Chains A and B, each alone.
Chain A
């Protein structure tokens, strides 16, 4: 599998502006709630693992994310303070996006080491399978949260960014 290059190192070392983490958390929580409302099957597929706390460690990103499906909450936290969690997934942004958009097989991402898991392996499998079934499209979801004409701009920008970077930013653009 060939994933695109990682994000520049600068990105993960950048000091965060004040309130950036809470703002990111709020935005992602809003996104999660929208997805949960529109695609309740994700939660039913998670089954008992809805209550699990997933630590998402995007290694070329600036913060750690803690996702709590049952509470419909995503919290952004500084790297130096990893919160208690049940399962952790670590990897580059490109790998997460590829899994989220189904452009790469989750099994292949895990077993090639692109994504590393620790903690409750069952919870991670349940999450992966639930996401795969949901056929998510992050660009589409984000655009839906934006007001016109910003939604159209967002789609175009995402398309362009995906072409330039090779990152899977929406469902329709599988990596070749």
Chain B
């Protein structure tokens, strides 16, 4: 059966995911060592140890994401995170920075290493480079690839692949985006935050709900209509008219959609993908439980060659369109 890798932003969500049928749960420490460094989220060392014990007792595994890029002069914090995850009994750590991976491979030779999506290893050359240099065992593929490309990659590499099937969608190559620091000074790579809440302001202006990031107006919707979170790449912008085209106002990069690749699970399985990943460490335990239950049913169906259960997650994507993202070539 394909392995289901599920998010946990809190110990309660970890337990919910395990109870709902997650094979594996990923989480992070409550600091800038992980890419979901959000207020009120993530794990202390004690919470991680308890989480690992809870998962193990139920046959599930815990991965620890240490997937930001260590600060020059401050690498010790990241090195300690790897050591503590190892000590807590994490099944593997998910890393993005070559320097940190080199350190982990050397200091913890028996620790299983996964390559984070933040490393943006988008072709067999990059993946093989990491595998050969550091003994990486699994790569989380960037969300810029089609199913055909994933199939081709799997033919050329010897390590496991994990792909995102549900949740938020980065439209840029992950780990290679500075849009957030351009507007706010804080970035996913350095601070583990994208379009951070500390720079978000919602305001009602003249009958409209406005969402700003760093003072810049990113969304304006009539009162009562949904107000998307002002994530930059899903924001509304204007491209003024040029010689060759009229002005355009809208979601120039991506509509506020979320990824749902349920229907592609059989194809991904055929493409040789080992594990399916669900995004959403910032979501509630209720959400995690529902999504995990639905995807557990889907991977079991795929295992038996049965059709994918349809409309399983309609409720969770309600109000938001779902897309199969880059997996279908037309997305580009």
A106→B198 contact, CB < 8 A: no
Q: Tell me the B residues contacting A by CB distance below 8 Å.
A: 9-13, 38-41, 44, 196-198, 200-204, 209, 224-229, 282-287, 315-316, 318-320
Interfacial chain B residues near A118, Cβ < 8 Å: 201-204
In the complex formed, the residue of A with least CB distance to B14 is: A133
* A residues 122-149 touching B (CB-CB < 8 Å): 122-130, 132-135
Chain B interface mostly: loop
A96 on the B face (CB < 8 A): no
Can you list 26 A-B pairs with a CB-CB distance of less than 8 A? A44-B44, A46-B40, A102-B12, A102-B286, A105-B284, A105-B316, A107-B283, A107-B287, A110-B229, A112-B319, A113-B224, A113-B226, A113-B227, A116-B202, A118-B203, A118-B204, A122-B197, A122-B198, A122-B200, A125-B40, A125-B282, A126-B40, A128-B284, A129-B10, A130-B40, A134-B12
- Within the complex, what minimum Cβ distance (angstroms) separates B35 from chain A? 16
A51 to B182, alpha carbons, bound, how many Å? 30
Interface size in chain A (residues, C-beta < 8 A): 36
B287→A108 contact, CB < 8 A: yes
Can you name 8 extra interface pairs (CB under 8 A) apart from A1-B315, A116-B202? A1-B318, A47-B40, A105-B316, A111-B226, A113-B224, A121-B197, A123-B39, A129-B282
Known contacts A105-B286, A111-B319, A116-B202; A132/B13 CB under 8 A? yes
Interfacial chain B residues near A97, Cβ < 8 Å: none
A111→B12 contact, CB < 8 A: no
Q: Tell me the A residues contacting B by CB distance below 8 Å.
A: 1, 44-47, 49, 99, 102-108, 110-113, 116-118, 121-130, 132-135, 174
A107→B282 contact, CB < 8 A: yes
